């Protein structure tokens, strides 16, 4: 299933971000630590220029700590960028964010000109939760469904930092469908526009390949060391075995797969499967190259069609 979701309010928010960016000193991008690459908005890379940026890998307590370390190192290589791992389980760390903003401008005195900061992130990355923790009051609306925040807000923080909150935004088209699936699994894409069975298949195959111990520990179902995650029937049979192990069965001892699909995604989102990260920097490098090749092939075919049309005329 091809996944795309870009409702009208996101198009408006994207235009507002473009307009606001020249007016701020710093950008904070809130990423989901379980999918730091997929939750990066490509718009920011295109328009930030040399604007200082802080990337917050939020929900770090749900992510694989070793892989989070790899991502922090990778993000630190970007010019004018700093990266930090944060989570609601450690609010004291989140409350250092105004200090981190100040550290990006050591020459600016606290009591003089405020630091103007734009904060952005994909839906359900936890941006509103971060804001509420550092503001020490319930300012931003939070929720488990994607796209809760739908308007800009201006919030005064400690250390003379002014935060400009923006709605959670995605982008018009997902060239990388792996990323689209990860975002949907994490809850960044509205559930009504995705196929839960497709997401559960994607997640089960990933777990079998990278976290087989999570399947064993959570469901008491073992994964063969030579399990072929490219074999769709084998993945389905594994899902069926897990569903039955959880006693998700219907009449005739048939596995209740719809119930399993929903439960698997819910348990991942809540961290009940263990600390899991859905992508690594190495996977990003590979997928970026694959997407570039696919787009180049599409462009070549389009150019060839235009050329044939010209000859016919």
The answer to whether residue 205 is domain-embedded is yes
Whether residue 160 is found in the same domain as residue 199: no
Single out the residue of 203, 270, 186 nearest to residue 242, CA to CA.
203
Identify the pLDDT of residue 107: 87
Contacts of 148 (CB under 8 A, 6+ apart): 123, 124, 128, 141, 142, 168
Asked if 119 contacts 141 with a C-beta cutoff of 8 angstroms, the reply is no
Identify the pLDDT of residue 132: 93
The answer to whether residue 217 is domain-embedded is yes
Strands 81-85 and 53-58: parallel
- Please give the model's pTM, rounded to 2 decimal places: 0.90
Find out whether 85 is annotated in a ligand binding site: no
Identify the pLDDT of residue 9: 85
Whether residue 225 is found in the same domain as residue 112: no
Find out whether 195 is annotated in a ligand binding site: no
Strands in 59-218 per DSSP E? 81-85, 115-121, 153-157, 161-165
Asked if 260 contacts 266 with a C-beta cutoff of 8 angstroms, the reply is no
What is each CA distance from 92 to 33, 86, 136, 212, in whole angstroms?
A: 18, 10, 11, 34
Find out whether 69 is annotated in a ligand binding site: no
Find out whether 124 is annotated in a ligand binding site: yes
| Strand order from edge to edge, sheet including 161-165 | 81-85, 53-58, 26-32, 115-121, 161-165, 153-157
Contacts of 96 (CB under 8 A, 6+ apart): none
Whether residue 202 is found in the same domain as residue 93: no
**pLDDT 10s per residue in the chain (313 long)?**
789 888 888 888 899 999 999 999 999 999 999 999 999 999 888 888 889 999 999 999 999 999 999 999 999 998 889 999 999 999 999 999 999 999 999 888 877 889 999 999 999 999 999 999 999 876 655 555 544 555 678 999 999 999 999 999 999 999 999 999 999 999 999 999 999 999 999 999 999 999 999 999 999 999 998 899 999 999 999 999 999 999 999 988 899 999 999 999 999 999 999 999 999 999 999 999 999 999 999 999 988 888 887 776 6
Single out the residue of 287, 16, 10 nearest to residue 164, CA to CA.
16
Domain that holds residue 160: 8-165
Integer Cα distance of 127 and 49 in angstroms = 23
Whether residue 145 is found in the same domain as residue 234: no
Whether residue 14 is found in the same domain as residue 148: yes
Identify the pLDDT of residue 151: 62
Integer Cα distance of 188 and 146 in angstroms = 5
The answer to whether residue 2 is domain-embedded is no
The total number of structural domains in the chain stands at: 2
Integer Cα distance of 13 and 17 in angstroms = 6
Whether residue 22 is found in the same domain as residue 114: yes
Find out whether 66 is annotated in a ligand binding site: no
Whether residue 130 is found in the same domain as residue 218: no
Find out whether 61 is annotated in a ligand binding site: yes
CATH code for the domain in which residue 109 is found: 3.40.50.300
Rounded to 5 degrees, φ, ψ at 154 are -115, 120
Whether residue 57 is found in the same domain as residue 161: yes
Identify the pLDDT of residue 91: 96
Q: With b meaning 16 or more CB within 10 Å and e meaning fewer, what string describes 83-100?
A: bbbbbbeeeeebbebbeb
Single out the residue of 218, 213, 223 nearest to residue 264, CA to CA.
218
Find out whether 168 is annotated in a ligand binding site: yes
Integer Cα distance of 223 and 195 in angstroms = 25
Identify the pLDDT of residue 147: 46
The greatest distance separating any two alpha carbons of the chain, rounded to the nearest whole angstrom, comes to: 73
What is each CA distance from 154 to 51, 111, 135, 167, in whole angstroms?
A: 19, 19, 11, 12
Identify the pLDDT of residue 310: 75
CATH code for the domain in which residue 230 is found: 1.10.1580
């Amino acid at each position: 299933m091809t996944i795309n979701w870009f409702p009208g309010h996101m198009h408006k928010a994207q235009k507002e971000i473009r307009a606001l960016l020249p007016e701020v000193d710093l950008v904070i991008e809130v990423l989901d630590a379980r999918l730091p690459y997929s939750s990066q908005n490509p718009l920011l890379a295109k328009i930030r220029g040399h604007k200082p940026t802080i990337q917050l890998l939020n929900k770090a307590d749900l992510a694989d700590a070793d892989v989070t370390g790899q991502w922090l190192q990778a993000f630190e290589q970007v010019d004018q960028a700093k990266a930090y791992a944060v989570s609601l389980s450690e609010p004291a760390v989140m409350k250092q964010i105004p200090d981190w903003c100040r550290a990006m401008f050591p020459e600016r005195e606290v009591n003089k000109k405020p630091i103007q900061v734009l904060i952005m992130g994909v839906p359900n990355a936890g941006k509103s939760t971060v804001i509420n923790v550092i503001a020490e009051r319930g300012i931003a609306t939070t929720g488990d469904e994607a796209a809760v925040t739908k308007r800009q807000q201006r919030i005064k923080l400690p250390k003379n930092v002014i935060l400009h909150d923006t709605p959670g935004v995605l982008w018009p088209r997902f060239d990388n469908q792996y990323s689209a699936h990860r975002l949907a699994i994490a809850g960044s894409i509205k559930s009504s526009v995705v196929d839960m069975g497709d997401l559960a298949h994607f997640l089960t195959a990933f777990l079998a390949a990278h976290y087989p111990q999570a399947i064993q520990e959570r469901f008491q179902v073992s994964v063969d060391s030579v399990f072929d995650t490219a074999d769709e029937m084998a993945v389905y049979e594994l899902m069926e075995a897990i569903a039955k192990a959880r006693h998700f069965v219907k009449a005739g001892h048939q596995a209740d797969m719809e119930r399993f699909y929903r439960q698997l995604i819910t348990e991942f989102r809540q961290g009940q499967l263990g600390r899991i990260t859905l992508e690594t920097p190495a996977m990003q490098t590979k997928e970026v190259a694959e997407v570039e090749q696919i787009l180049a092939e599409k462009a070549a075919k389009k150019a060839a069609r235009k050329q044939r049309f010209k000859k016919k005329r």
